[in-house]
Amino acid sequence: METLETKAYGTESADAPIQDMNIKRRTVLENDVEIEILYCGICHSDLHALHNDWGATVYPIVPGHEIVGKVTKIGEKVSKFKIGDLAAIGCIVDSCGHCTQCNHGEEQFCEEGWTLVFNAPDKHIGGVTYGGFSQTIVCDADYVLKMPTFDDLAAAAPLLCAGITVYSPLKHWQVGPGKKVGIVGIGGLGHMAVKIAKAMGAHVTVFTTSQDKMDDAKRLGADEAVLSKDPEQMKAQSGFNMVLDTVSAKHDVNAYLNVLAVDGSLVLVGLPNEPLEVGAFNVVNGRKSFSGSNIGGIAETQEMLEFCKTHNITADIELINTSEINEALDRLEKGDVKYRFVIDMNS
Ligand code: NAP
Ligand code: ZN
C-alpha cells in the first residue's frame, strides 16, 4: 500500500525523551479522511504508555489521542466530511463494525478487538498505529468525529479522551438532579468530570490530595471539596450515589466505598498499573458496587461534543509548543498541570 511520510514526536524506549521522527501514514482509501492535526492533548495514558507502565508498549511509540484538526483529503466514498471541515479523533480508529457491541455503538468493547489510535497493530501498513503527536493522520471516516465550532478549539481537544471518559460513566450511572456525585483526583479527567456532572445537574463533591485544588474546585463548578488526606474531612462524608475515581496511581479505594449510599457505585476510570485492594465488608455493607468504564463509543463521543458545545464546556489548558513536550510530560508526572496540556502542532 502506498504511504506518505509525516513528522511526528515519539520515543524509542521507555527512558528516552520525546524526539522528532518521520512516520508513515497510508494514502487515503475510499472511506478515509486525511486530517492536518492542529492540536493534540496530552493524557496521562500517553505518559503510562511512553513509560510502558502497562507492559504492552511497542517502540518507537507516537502517542496522542485527543486530536483536532482540518480535513485535507477525502476518499471517494466519504460524504460525512468535505475538505476544510473541522474534525476530531479520539482513542478508537477501527473496530469490527458488526459484533453486538459495535452494533450498540460501543466500539470500545468490540468483541473482535478495536484498534487504538496509537500502539495497536496497524492493519493497513503493518507495524503499529501512530497517534496524534504528529502533523497529519489518516483514518476511516466512520471513526472520525465532526467537531463543533468551539470558541477555543485547542481547549476542546481534551474532550476527545478526558471528556468522553467521564461523560460515558456519568451518563450510564444516571447522574443528574438529586444525585450526589464525588469526583476523585482533579487532573485532566477529574476537572472535566466536575464540569460535566455539574452540567448534568448533580450535586458535585471533589476529593483531592492537593490543597490548592480545594480552592479551585468551586471555580470549576463543584459544590463542595474534600481534602482526601484529612481523615476528619473524609469521616464526615456519606450518601454518595456515585463516585468517579480518576486517580492514575495506586491508592486506597476503600475510603471511597465507605462514602457511598446504599446501592451506590464506585466507578474506576483511572488506570494504576498495580492492583487495588477491596475489603469485602466495604462492598457487602450497603450492597455497594465497585466497577469501571473505558472511554465511550463513537456515537456517544459525538453526543458528548454536542453536550459540551451546548453547555459551553471545554478544558482548562496550558497550550504548549512541540519543543515543550518533554517538559510537559515531566510536569504531568508530578501532577503539576491545571488541568491539561495541549500541543499546538503548528508551533
Ligand atoms: P492526571 O491529569 O495526571 O490526573 C490524575 C490525578 O490523580 C492527579 O491530578 C491527582 O489529583 C490524582 N493523583 C495522582 N497520583 C495520586 C496518588 N498517588 N494518590 C492519590 N491521588 C493521586 O491524569 P488523567 O489524564 O486525568 O488520567 C487519569 C487516569 O485515567 C490515568 O491513569 C489514565 O491512564 C486513566 N485514563 C483512563 C481512561 C479510561 O478510558 N478508563 C481514559 C483516559 C485516561 P489531585 O491532585 O486532585 O489529588
Ligand atoms: Zn486518554
pLDDT surpasses 90 at 333? yes
Domains present along the chain, CATH in parentheses: 3-160+315-344 (3.90.180.10), 162-292 (3.40.50.720)
pLDDT given at position 1: 86
- pLDDT tens digit sequence for 257-269: 999 999 999 999 9
Interval between CA 167 and ligand 1 midpoint (Å) = 16
What is the phi-psi region of residue 190: left when phi exceeds 0, alpha when psi lies from -120 to 50, beta otherwise? alpha
Beta partners for residue 284, in sequence order: none
- Substitution candidate for ligand 1 out of 247, 250, 318, 341 with most atoms within 8 A of CB: 247
Residue ID of nearest Cα to ligand 1 atom 5: 187
- Single pTM value for the model: 0.98
Q: How far is CA 292 from CA 68, 112, 131, 262, in A?
A: 27, 20, 25, 18
CB 153 within 8 A of CB 68: yes
Tell me the angle at which helices 298-310 and 162-172 cross, rounded to the nearest 10 degrees. 100
Residue in this structure with the C-alpha cell 461534543, named with its chain if needed? 305
Q: Could you tell me which residues come within 8 angstroms of residue 126 by beta carbon, excluding any fewer than 6 positions away?
A: none
CA dihedral 121, 102, 110, 48 (to 10 degrees): 70
Ligand 1 atom with the smallest distance to the CA of 186 is 47
Interval between CA 339 and ligand 2 midpoint (Å) = 13
Please state, in angstroms and rounded to a whole number, the distance separating the CA atoms of residues 25 and 330.
29
pLDDT given at position 225: 98
Residue ID of nearest Cα to ligand 1 atom 12: 185
- pLDDT tens digit sequence for 139-178: 999 999 999 999 999 999 999 999 999 999 999 999 999 9
Residue in this structure with the C-alpha cell 473482535, named with its chain if needed? 112
Tell me which residues have their CB closer than 6 angstroms to ligand 1: 43-45, 48, 161, 165, 185-190, 208-210, 213, 246-249, 251, 269-271, 294-295, 332, 335
Ligand 1 atom with the smallest distance to the CA of 247 is 7
pLDDT surpasses 90 at 12? yes
- The mean pLDDT value for 320-346 works out to 97
Q: How would DSSP label each residue in 240-297?
A: EEEEEE--SS---THHHHTTEEEEEEEEE----SS-----HHHHHTTT-EEEE-----
Q: How would DSSP label each residue in 296-314?
A: --HHHHHHHHHHHHHTT--
N-term to C-term CA, the chain: 31
- pLDDT tens digit sequence for 189-236: 999 999 999 999 999 999 999 999 999 999 999 999 999 999 999 999
Interval between CA 66 and ligand 2 midpoint (Å) = 7
Ligand 1 atom with the smallest distance to the CA of 333 is 3
- Substitution candidate for ligand 1 out of 248, 256, 291, 317 with most atoms within 8 A of CB: 248
Polymer length in residues for the chain: 347
> 3-state DSSP call for residue 103?
helix
CB 288 within 8 A of CB 264: yes
CB 207 within 8 A of CB 223: no
- DSSP type of residue 40: E
Residue ID of nearest Cα to ligand 1 atom 13: 247
Interval between CA 272 and ligand 2 midpoint (Å) = 13
Residue type, 264: G
- pLDDT tens digit sequence for 247-302: 999 999 999 999 999 999 999 999 999 999 999 999 999 999 999 999 999 999 99
- Among residues 227, 191, 222, the alpha carbon closest in space to that of 209 is found at 227
- The mean pLDDT value for 118-138 works out to 97
Q: Could you tell me which residues come within 8 angstroms of residue 148 by beta carbon, excluding any fewer than 6 positions away?
A: 86, 156, 305, 306, 309
- Among residues 78, 199, 235, the alpha carbon closest in space to that of 141 is found at 78
Q: Cα 148 to the chain's mean position, in Å? A: 18
